[in-house]
Amino acid sequence: MAEANPARINLFLLVVLLLGQLLVMAGSVRRDAGATLLETGVAKVGEPVVALTRGAGRGLDGLVGFFSELARARRENALLRVELERLRSEVNRYREQSAENERLRRLLGMREALAPRSVAASVIARSLTGSTRMIVLDQGRRAGVREDLPVVAWGGAVGRVVLAGEDYAKVRLLTDPNSGVSGIVQRTRAEGMVEGRAGDPLEMTYVPKYADVVAGDRVVTSGLDGVFPKGFGIGRVIAVEEPAGSTVKRILIEPEMPFEAVEEVLVLTERTGSALLEAGVPPRGGP
Amino acid sequence: MTLLWAVLALALALAGQAVAGNWLPGALRYVDLLMLPVLWYGLARSQRSAMLVGCLAGALEDAWFRAGVFGLRGFDKTLLGWLVGGIGARLDLNVAWGRAAAGAALPVADRMLEFGLLRLLDLSPGSLEPVELLGRAASGGALALAAFSVVDRLGSRRPRPKGSGWSR
């Protein structure tokens, strides 16, 4: 009996593996929500390794940080005492203002603005490569994280959950080329779609040429996309172009969120509509 | 035993990639540590093992470092495993210059293949910048040389005839 040709066997194996991957891809594209069983399984297999690196990294960080923190702590302690006194007086002032605010809201029949419910999560992995800008969080469906929920940090928009496993979630960052969020220029209320462009600045599109936008303007989420509540910071305009023959401006935005440094985030688990946070007051006579 | 080494190599690559992602996030644009096991098995072992390791490495990358279609990176790395294994079987690339050349070429081919596949799937592939490709080539070549020399030094590269068992 003739011996099988290894090259042919390898070619056959290649075809089988590639077909298998195509089937997996088809299943991944067709899924309505959540990770496929295979993806969850692979993530679970790799989870101990990633968790270990995270633990080791934190340990090393902690050791290095300990000594520098010790010296800094003394200096900061004195400053913090002063700051504490200032904040105490401010808190008292805000309490007064909050009570006054509530009275006025009731008076005007406005809806009470409630803080959205959220899940705090740590970043356990991130990928900022050519075609992908994403992070992986250590909280998943078990904690109430679902697909399409907004992720924020430090008052700024971070991204959107694109996949939620049992104990992890993948978040597509605003800078991902496949990301888009509805934004509004805080000063003039000009609206547009803010799209990611990987390593380059964000681009705000669909802003008409007559809209008043200049470099330095702050752009925040508009709440119109049904994902992000209103008022979370996106970035600042760094350039405004008016391409010849086009009816819209080309606006480049420098993100205000240092995506590569984000370590803890909040996943807003409650859809809150668009009237949750104030994005600013429109100017008199503005568009 | 080969399977155990493959799993260990993949675990190390995954750990390295996770650490790099957290400490030097920008570097991940130029560094693909999960490609190293594929390269190693392609050059030092066999085409078949390179394909299988590529398939597993791609799945891990999809699960932990990609938010798009699951399976895409596996497809990509399986194909590259087949390619590097095939070339490695015909030419003796398991020498310093060959390792560096293959280590430089593979991440570039990987990025270009990913770009093409994403375009085919009508997803935004980002821009294919020469600086990124050059960075990937440089880091890939250097990492291949470094990783192979460490493996050589550790003596885990036992003289084993090509084409035995799983590594056929």
Nearest Cβ partner for B79 among A10, A18, A134: A18
pLDDT higher than threshold 70 for residue A287: no
Sign of torsion over alpha carbons B128, B28, A19, A9: positive
Range with the largest mean pLDDT of A75-89, A94-108, B73-87:
B73-87
**Residue B88 forms contact with A (CB below 8 Å):** no
Q: How does residue B35 score in pLDDT terms, banded at 50, 70 and 90?
A: very high
Q: What's residue A32's pLDDT?
A: 58
The arithmetic mean of pLDDT across residues B8-37, rounded, is 86
Tell me the C-alpha distance between B136 and A26, whole Å.
Answer: 29
Q: What's residue B64's pLDDT?
A: 86
The arithmetic mean of pLDDT across residues A79-105, rounded, is 75
Q: How does residue A131 score in pLDDT terms, banded at 50, 70 and 90?
A: confident
Contact B127 A38 (CB under 8 A): no
Nearest residue to B55 via CA among B75, B69, B35, B37: B75
Nearest Cβ partner for A131 among B15, B63, B114: B114
Nearest residue to B43 via CA among B75, B90, B112, B109: B90
More confident residue, B104 or A286: B104
The arithmetic mean of pLDDT across residues B155-165, rounded, is 51
Contact A132 B66 (CB under 8 A): yes
Q: What's residue A236's pLDDT?
A: 93
**Residue B26 forms contact with A (CB below 8 Å):** yes
More confident residue, B137 or A59: B137
Contact B51 A129 (CB under 8 A): no
CA distance A230 to chain B (A): 25
pLDDT higher than threshold 70 for residue B159: no
The count of C-alpha atoms lying within 13 angstroms of the C-alpha of A181, restricted to the half-sphere facing its C-beta, is 38
Could you identify the residue written with the tokens 């098995």?
A: B41
A150 beta partners: A160
Tell me the C-alpha distance between B21 and A119, whole Å.
Answer: 23
Range with the largest mean pLDDT of A77-86, A135-144, A268-277, B147-156:
A135-144
Least confident stretch, A36-50, A259-273, B40-54: A259-273
Q: How does residue B94 score in pLDDT terms, banded at 50, 70 and 90?
A: confident
Q: How does residue A184 score in pLDDT terms, banded at 50, 70 and 90?
A: very high
Contact residues on chain B for A124, CB-CB shorter than 8 A: 18
CA distance B37 to chain A (A): 16
pLDDT higher than threshold 80 for residue B126: no
Tell me the C-alpha distance between A64 and B55, whole Å.
Answer: 38
Contact residues on chain B for A127, CB-CB shorter than 8 A: 21, 28, 64-67
Contact A130 B63 (CB under 8 A): no
Could you identify the residue written with the tokens 């020498």?
A: B95
- 133-162 in chain B: CB under 8 A from chain A: none
CA distance B8 to chain A (A): 11
Q: How does residue A197 score in pLDDT terms, banded at 50, 70 and 90?
A: confident
The model's pLDDT over A31-68, given as tens digits with 9 standing for 90+, comes to: 655 677 788 888 888 888 888 877 776 776 677 677 77
The arithmetic mean of pLDDT across residues A67-72, rounded, is 76
More confident residue, B139 or B27: B139
A195 CB-near residues (< 8 Å, 6+ apart): A177, A179, A180, A202, A203, A204, A205
The ipTM, to two decimals, is 0.82
pLDDT higher than threshold 90 for residue B82: yes
Q: What does the DSSP assignment read for A113-141?
A: -PPPPEEEEEEEEEEE-SS-EEEEES--G
pTM of the model: 0.67
CA distance B158 to chain A (A): 23
CA distance A66 to chain B (A): 18
More confident residue, B20 or B110: B110
pLDDT higher than threshold 70 for residue A162: yes
Nearest Cβ partner for B64 among A136, A162, A178: A136
Q: What's residue A275's pLDDT?
A: 42
Q: How does residue A286 score in pLDDT terms, banded at 50, 70 and 90?
A: very low
pLDDT higher than threshold 80 for residue A156: yes
pLDDT higher than threshold 90 for residue A284: no
A75 CB-near residues (< 8 Å, 6+ apart): none
pLDDT higher than threshold 60 for residue A278: no
CA distance A190 to chain B (A): 26
Contact B125 A39 (CB under 8 A): no
Contact residues on chain B for A6, CB-CB shorter than 8 A: 48, 163, 168
How remote is the C-alpha of A241 from its chain's centroid? 26
pLDDT higher than threshold 90 for residue A238: yes
Q: Which residue of B has its CA nearest to A175?
A: B126
C-beta separation of A113 from A276 below 8 A: yes
The arithmetic mean of pLDDT across residues A242-261, rounded, is 86
Tell me the C-alpha distance between A51 and A45, whole Å.
Answer: 11
Least confident stretch, A105-109, A134-138, A164-168, B109-113: A105-109
C-beta separation of A187 from A172 below 8 A: no
